[in-house]
Amino acid sequence: MTALQAALANKRVLICVGSGGVGKTTVAATLALRAAVDGRPSIVCTIDPAKRLANSLGLSGLGNEEAEVPASVLERLGVKPRAPLHAMMLDMKATWDDLITRVAPPEQRERIFANRFYQSLSTALAGSQEYIAMEKVWDLRRSKDYELVVLDTPPTAHALDFLDAPNRVLDFLDNEAAKWLLTPALKAGKVGLSLFNLGGSYVTRALSRFTGTEMLQELSSFMLTLSSMNEGFRERARGVRELLEDQTTGFVLVTSPNPERLDEAIHFHKLLKQNRMEMTAIVVNRVHPLPTQAQWADAATLTPTRRAKVEETLRETQVLAQQDLEGLAQLRAACPGTPLIQVPRFGLDVHDLTALWGTGRYLLGDDVLA
């Protein structure tokens, strides 16, 4: 049994991480698809606003509500799914609003929704996207509807935002500055901005939108309202942190043979290990396969002009494939003990269920690059 076969059979959450443009969405959708076909009710969640996931699954669109992929669509693959497959695209603000609706008393919800600091928090605050994605996964993980939740994450440009998001929320709620917000001195505008140095720019980026008393009033109002719900937020943030570290949660690191992408993958692998996260596998997508003997033999049967062109293409492909092999060797050396899975570069982008199924054959070990 390969690493990803074992993960699809035993994990409850798979988190696909990696740089932008390396095929995370495709890998996430493929894993959820294969799990459903194998009999585990599954859902794939993406933050990518592009329509690739919906199109790949045969859906007209995706939103913040869970959408079931019709069994009839899956049966076009020639397989009968043994469990349902769902998909959703996380809307950041809608997901934050759902969280407030669950945690806040009815009389406080509208006050929070109208608060400008909350509006910044729910749309643009550093780390907010990463946290709310994991918050949603935590909700889905507790649901009885799904045995496997697969998350397609934002790119790794801010990898620490993703890994640290629950801790930063807890730090924010516990910070002494937050307690000062409840004092008359602050509400009178007598407390300086230095109080809000709450760990990097997690809060201060949002504060930069306001000035002076206006900022203090908005933030004070937000924290006064939030104070009655702190324990609810803490409980959920602790749950998210525990989910990241749980043995039933696995990380699938997706990359490509591009040297820059490989460097980023090695860095993120190191971060995951340092944070004691469960590394399930590294998927190297879009690998150039070496030309086969059959391809060279076929070229030899062509007319001289046609043969020269085909052989030139084969030589170029061989150079690219050799470069990819060198990059893969460096990746193996830098990430010992983590299974490495290769998916070839296909002629066309993966844009439908048939292509997803073909990708899955490499991910799960049915097909292997020579």
Residues 6+ apart with CB under 8 A from 290: 317, 318, 321, 322, 325, 370
Candidate from 172-176, 228-232, 236-240 with smallest mean pLDDT: 172-176
Q: Mean pLDDT, to the nearest integer, of 226-251? A: 83
Residues 6+ apart with CB under 8 A from 248: 10, 11, 12, 13
Residue 136 neighbours by CB distance under 10 Å:
23
What tokens were used for 58?
């045969």
Confidence label for 50 from pLDDT (cuts 50, 70 and 90):
low
Q: What are the domain boundaries of the chain?
A: 96-246
Buried b (16+ CB within 10 A) or exposed e, 183-213: eeebbeeebeeeebebeeebbeebbeebeee
Phi and psi angles of residue 45, each rounded to the nearest 5 degrees, phi first: -115, 135
**Contact yes or no for 49/91 (Cβ under 8 A):** no
Residue-wise pLDDT tens digits, 100-116: 888 888 888 888 888 88
pLDDT of 325: 96
Residue 250 neighbours by CB distance under 10 Å:
23
pLDDT of 124: 61
Q: Mean pLDDT, to the nearest integer, of 324-353? A: 89
* Whole-angstrom distance, CA of residue 67 vs CA of residue 71: 12
**Contact yes or no for 352/73 (Cβ under 8 A):** no
